[in-house]
């Protein structure tokens, strides 16, 4: 892969809206991505391997639990800093950003929000430092968009719980030290359980042959009569709203992250369009190519404005599930369109690993599917504006 020449485009002078801390966080994350991700990521994606050595670096820049309080090992930052971090990391690769989303919003967040003080102290500092890697088990083979139908279950055996079932499409599963697993009790009520690697009957087979998120490890979580200590249940929230609450936080990070992938595709296509000569002139001088670039920078700017405002609402505790859902859907959708158009602008070079565009494009096919598909997010907005759920 060529050297990372990325230059930030700030068409609407959004930087004027950022604090010095926001800019510092963004700059430090960007520097780290340029140094530790860009030079190696293409090779790892081609080999379909997660770059494990990046875990300590991600912890070092505060990407595990950016908004979790410092006393639990987090970085204690605001939601806009968290978003900017996800933007910069996904500018490098969506799979690396996935690892951060899962660790921060799907593992640390539920332990922080729904866990006991003992659980917080036991797990959060280790997750923040990267000593532990976590995964989040909600999706099952027969229940994806409809997680409320899950069949994974646990029984109260007096001194422990007995967990049975299976989760699939789980990011980080093959490498995880702990998993936050959502399962039904004997009354059909959903609870979160912390399952630790090494518990008898708990296995994490890897899912192979992915064409997308190749630098992220994906797998199953299989529970065959796993004895889970009673101390490992998350005591402070139950019901489907508990896992869905975690998704709010992760979807928010994805809305920012997708802008990063789009920015990288736009920057690459813009530079290429000025250098590539056909018919004796740079291809950037042709109207059809300018149309693509003009639409890209317009959509990136709109997505930036959407997430910045959403970040303000999140900081004030006012962002709704439907607002977050709209930003996730819109920003991933425009990032995919930008990646496809940028790929075309590079002609044959667009499919080569010399440039990052094809990798971003393939990654975004997962991003548009996980954390709620594009269509499910349309239905969430539809329900929000009409008051009528159209899911079933
Ligand atoms: P519904 O009846 O609407 O809701 C059930 C209960 O939950 C409450 N609720 C929420 N609570 C907190 N936060 C939210 N975001 C909430 N959304 C809903 C709701 O008020 C209700 O509470 P109560 O007290 O009335 O019972 O549920 P439904 O079964 O009709 O489903 C609605 C639907 C389809 C929107 C929802 O299930 C959904 O979002 N489906 C998509 C599934 C999904 O996003 N899965 C993601 C899996 S994790 C993942 O993909 C990680 S990828 C990570 C990476 O690598 O980056
Ligand atoms: P389905 O729910 O079967 O949907 C198939 C199609 O039907 C979609 O187009 C969908 O939009 C459509 N559809 C479904 N219901 C409706 C409806 N009511 N109306 C209209 N259309 C509908 N899950 C986790 O729990 N943890 C993870 O860490 C995780 N990581 C993932 C990593 C990757 C790489 C991928 C690909 C997935 C991951 N997932 C994870 C799972 C992901 O959240 C699900 O794939 C997603 O929620 C969709 O579920 P499904 O694949 O079962 O599709």
| Residue range 117-130: mean pLDDT, rounded | 98
- With the most atoms of ligand 1 within 8 angstroms of its CB, the residue from 241, 332, 377, 381 to mutate is 241
CB atoms within 10 A of CB 241: 10
pLDDT band per the 50, 70, 90 thresholds, residue 145 = very high
Handedness of CA 243, 120, 81, 2 (dihedral sign): negative
Q: Residue 52: what pLDDT?
A: 96
Mean pLDDT for the stretch of residues 13-27: 97
Asked whether 135 and 206 are in contact (CB, 8 A), the reply is no
* d(C-alpha 249, C-alpha 321), whole Å: 9
347 lines ligand 1 (CB under 6 A): no
pLDDT band at 286 (very low <50, low <70, confident <90, very high): very high
- pLDDT value of position 57: 97
The angle subtended at Cα 49 by Cα 144 and Cα 75, nearest 5°, is 75
> How does pLDDT run across 261-273, given as a tens digit for each residue?
999 999 999 999 9
134-137 vs 178-184, strand pairing mode: parallel
Ramachandran angles phi, psi of 108, nearest 5°: -70, -40
Whether the predicted pLDDT of 121 surpasses 80: yes
The pLDDT tens digits of the residues spanning 198-219 come to 999 999 999 999 999 999 999 9
pLDDT at position 40 over 80 = yes
pLDDT given at position 207: 98
Beta carbon of 366 within 6 Å of any ligand 1 atom: no
Give me the chain's average pLDDT, please.
98
149 lines ligand 1 (CB under 6 A): no
Among all residues, which ones are annotated catalytic? 371
Q: Residue 187, exposed/middle/buried by CB under 10 A (0-12, 13-18, 19+)? A: exposed
Nearest in space to 258 (alpha carbons), one of 184, 339, 191, 193: 339
Tally of CA atoms within 13 A in the half-sphere of 331 that contains its CB = 33
Per-residue pLDDT band at 1 (split at 50, 70, 90) = confident
- Position 12 scores a pLDDT of 97
Could you tell me the distance, in angstroms and rounded to a whole number, from the CA of residue 7 to the centre of ligand 2?
Answer: 34
Q: Which phi and psi angles does 47 have, rounded to 5°?
A: -85, -5
Checking if the pLDDT of 59 tops 80, the result is: yes
Q: What is the pLDDT of residue 285?
A: 98
Which of 150, 104, 138 minimizes the C-alpha distance to 124?
A: 104
Walk me through the domains of the chain, giving residue ranges and CATH numbers. Answer: 14-128 (1.10.540.10), 134-232 (2.40.110.10), 241-386 (1.20.140.10)
2 confidence band (pLDDT: 50, 70, 90): confident
Q: How confident is the model at residue 380 (pLDDT cuts 50, 70, 90)?
A: very high
Give the pLDDT band of residue 9 (cuts 50, 70, 90): confident
With a Cβ cut-off of 6 Å, ligand 2 is lined by 102, 136-139, 144-145, 169-171, 213, 218, 366, 369-373, 375-376, 379, 391
Mean pLDDT of 140-160: 98
- Average pLDDT for 293-319: 98
pLDDT value at residue 19: 98
Model pLDDT for residues 331-379, shown as the tens digit of each residue: 999 999 999 999 999 999 999 999 999 999 999 999 999 999 999 999 9
Does residue 260 register a pLDDT over 80? yes
Give the ligand 2 atom nearest the CA of 146.
Answer: 2
Question: Looking at residues 91-105, what average pLDDT do you find?
Answer: 98
pLDDT of residue 310: 98
pLDDT at residue 73, as a whole number: 97
Q: How confident is the model at residue 165 (pLDDT cuts 50, 70, 90)?
A: very high
41-54 pLDDT, tens digit each: 999 999 999 999 99
């Amino acid at each position: 892969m060529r050297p990372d020449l990325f230059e930030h485009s700030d068409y609407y002078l959004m930087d004027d809206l950022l604090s010095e801390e926001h800019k510092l966080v963004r700059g430090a994350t960007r520097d780290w991505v340029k140094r530790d991700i860009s030079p190696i990521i293409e090779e790892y994606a081609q080999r379909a391997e997660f770059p494990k050595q990046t875990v300590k670096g991600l912890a070092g820049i505060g990407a595990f639990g950016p908004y979790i309080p410092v006393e639990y090992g987090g970085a204690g930052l605001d939601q806009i800093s968290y978003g900017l971090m996800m933007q910069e990391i996904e500018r490098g690769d969506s799979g690396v950003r996935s690892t951060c989303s899962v660790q921060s919003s799907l593992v640390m967040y539920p332990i922080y929000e729904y866990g006991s003080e003992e659980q917080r102290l036991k797990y959060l500092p280790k997750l923040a430092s990267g000593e532990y890697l976590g995964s989040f088990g909600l999706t099952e083979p027969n229940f994806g968009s409809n997680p409320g139908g899950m069949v994974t279950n646990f029984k109260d055996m007096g001194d422990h719980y007995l967990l049975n079932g299976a989760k699939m499409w789980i990011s980080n599963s093959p490498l995880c030290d702990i998993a936050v697993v959502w399962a039904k009790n004997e009354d059909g009520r959903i609870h979160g359980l912390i399952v630790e690697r090494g518990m008898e009957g708990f296995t994490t087979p890897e899912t192979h042959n992915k064409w997308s998120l190749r630098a992220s490890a994906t797998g199953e979580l299989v529970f065959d009569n796993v004895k889970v200590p009673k101390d490992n249940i998350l005591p402070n929230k139950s019901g489907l709203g508990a896992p869905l609450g975690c998704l709010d936080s992760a979807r928010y990070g994805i809305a920012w992250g997708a802008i990063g992938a789009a920015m990288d595709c736009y920057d690459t296509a813009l530079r290429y369009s000025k250098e590539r000569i056909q018919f004796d002139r740079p291809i950037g001088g042709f109207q059809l190519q300018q149309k693509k670039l003009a639409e890209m920078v317009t959509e990136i700017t709109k997505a930036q404005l959407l997430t910045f405002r959403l970040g303000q609402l999140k900081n004030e505790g006012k962002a709704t599930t439907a607002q977050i859902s709209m930003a996730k859907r819109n920003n991933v959708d425009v990032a995919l369109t930008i990646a496809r158009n940028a790929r075309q602008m590079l002609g044959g070079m667009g499919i080569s690993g010399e440039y990052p565009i094809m990798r971003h494009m393939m990654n975004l096919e997962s991003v548009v599917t996980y954390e709620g598909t594009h269509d499910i997010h349309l239905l969430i907005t539809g329900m929000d504006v009409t008051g009528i759920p159209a899911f079933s």
